[in-house]
């Protein structure tokens, strides 16, 4: 058994390294950037990134800019209170016509509980939130808001950044948005996901990091975190997906935040990602089935994962404090908007809340007439006297 596992680990590591270095062939030493937290980023030519190993993108023509940007946006320069940055910028940025790709190390892969699922979500452990449901699978806990009364072509949020603690290295804590179509029942669920997460088993540290995810078959075989597999096409050199974010919000003090906008370009058909004022890249519509047209659900909020059968975790969600503590102490997502069929950003209708164990993690929503618009406060400490 031990020998079999050793062989498996060696094979997976070898394949991972082969995939990575083939994808970055021709990158010279001056095209490396090292982050103060130890990450190494390769500045890879746009046309050499992992996206184009996807057979569906064999003859894909790179679209460097969207044809259309949704209307109705607040002025980004005035909307964010205290903006965040990425730590790797301290050592320079990549040149134009290249993209920063975080280098996967051998210890990253070996740290995973199942090395063949490194960089992926395991479908049997995913909470079936689509459509809104109270069903729960082992290990996952959520505090989210959901809207499902229309067809959707994107969403925009402003979220504050925290550094939640995790009970074990295998636990994760994240804040994200979901853009969803299809169903679990037919194994054809399509999702586009983006946000920030703390995930020691994946990254080797407890830093909050920018992440993305996608799937077109209910997490069975397609999709992955960040750029660990083909699919997402990055077009900008400024943002490193998987890179650390700083500074974090302070309990009772300054709140540091950033915007995420995802929308479907009505002309090109691709789903574009914007972080702050930077357009990062896109998910080609050809890698999806239902999302090639539109989304049926949009969700926003927090998620915590701990290994199944481990009992209630003390991993924090968001700030680790309940939403009732409100601004400056609890996590929030504000200025929640959805993109309609006219490619215009508007307030969502019919917001529903999902919180399986409100004494562990909870969510509250509200609406304001100022730049907060539709918002939620969410999070919690996990295990406590009322959450055994």
With beta carbons less than 8 A apart as the criterion, state whether 240 and 41 touch.
yes
- 22 among known catalytic residues: no
Cβ neighbours around 371 below 10 Å, total: 14
Q: What is the distance, to the nearest Å, from the Cα of residue 318 to the centroid of all Cα atoms in its chain?
A: 14
- 167 among known catalytic residues: no
Catalytic pick from 193, 237, 325, 371?
193
Parallel, antiparallel, or unpaired for β 209-215 and 233-234? unpaired
Tell me which residue of 220, 239, 216 sits closest to 84, measured CA to CA: 239
Catalytic pick from 167, 237, 257, 303?
303
At residue 14, what are phi and psi to the nearest 5 degrees? -60, -45
What are the Cα distances from residue 174, in Å, to 143, 289, 292, 314, 315? 11, 26, 26, 14, 11
Parallel, antiparallel, or unpaired for β 256-264 and 82-83? parallel
- Give CA angle at 186 (145, 189), nearest 5°: 40
Cα separation, 158 vs 221, whole angstroms: 31
Cα separation, 26 vs 188, whole angstroms: 37
Cα separation, 164 vs 320, whole angstroms: 6
Q: Partners of 16 in the beta sheet?
A: none
Alpha helices by DSSP H, the chain = 2-23, 76-79, 106-111, 200-203
Cα separation, 173 vs 361, whole angstroms: 12
* Residues recognised as catalytic: 193, 303
């Amino acid at each position: 058994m031990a020998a079999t596992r050793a062989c498996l680990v060696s094979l997976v590591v070898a394949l991972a390294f082969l995939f990575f270095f083939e994808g970055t062939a021709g990158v010279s030493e001056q095209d490396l950037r090292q982050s103060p937290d130890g990450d190494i980023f390769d500045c890879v030519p746009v046309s050499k990134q992992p996206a184009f190993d996807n057979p569906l993108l064999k003859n894909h023509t790179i679209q460097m800019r969207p044809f259309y940007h949704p209307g109705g946006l607040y002025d980004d320069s005035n909307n964010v209170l205290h903006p965040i940055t990425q730590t790797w910028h301290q050592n320079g940025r990549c040149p134009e016509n290249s993209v920063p790709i975080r280098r996967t190390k051998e210890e990253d892969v070996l740290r995973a509980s199942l090395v063949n699922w490194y960089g992926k979500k395991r479908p049997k452990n995913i909470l079936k939130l689509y459509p809104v449901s109270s069903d729960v699978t082992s290990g996952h806990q959520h505090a989210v808001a959901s809207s499902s009364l229309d067809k959707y072509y994107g969403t925009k949020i402003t979220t504050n950044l925290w550094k939640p603690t995790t009970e074990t290295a295998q636990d994760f804590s994240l804040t994200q948005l979901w853009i969803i179509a299809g169903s679990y029942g037919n194994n054809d669920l399509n999702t586009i996901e983006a946000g920030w997460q703390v995930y020691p088993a994946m990254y080797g540290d407890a830093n909050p990091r920018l992440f993305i995810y996608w799937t077109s078959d209910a997490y069975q075989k397609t999709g992955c975190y960040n750029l660990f597999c083909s699919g997402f096409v990055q077009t900008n050199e400024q943002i490193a997906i998987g890179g650390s974010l700083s500074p974090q919000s302070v309990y009772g003090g300054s709140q540091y935040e950033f915007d995420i906008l995802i929308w479907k370009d009505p002309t090109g058909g691709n789903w574009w990602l914007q972080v702050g004022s930077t357009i990062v890249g896109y998910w080609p519509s050809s890698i999806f089935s239902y999302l090639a047209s539109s989304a049926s659900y949009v969700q926003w909020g927090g998620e915590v994962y701990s290994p199944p059968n481990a009992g209630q975790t003390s991993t924090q969600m968001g700030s680790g404090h309940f939403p009732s503590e409100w601004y400056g102490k609890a996590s929030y997502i504000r200025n929640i908007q959805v993109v309609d069929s006219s490619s215009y950003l508007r307030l969502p209708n019919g917001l529903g809340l999902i919180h399986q164990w409100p004494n562990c993690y909870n969510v509250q929503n509200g609406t304001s007439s100022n730049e907060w618009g539709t918002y939620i406060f969410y999070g919690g400490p996990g295990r406590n006297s009322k959450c055994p």
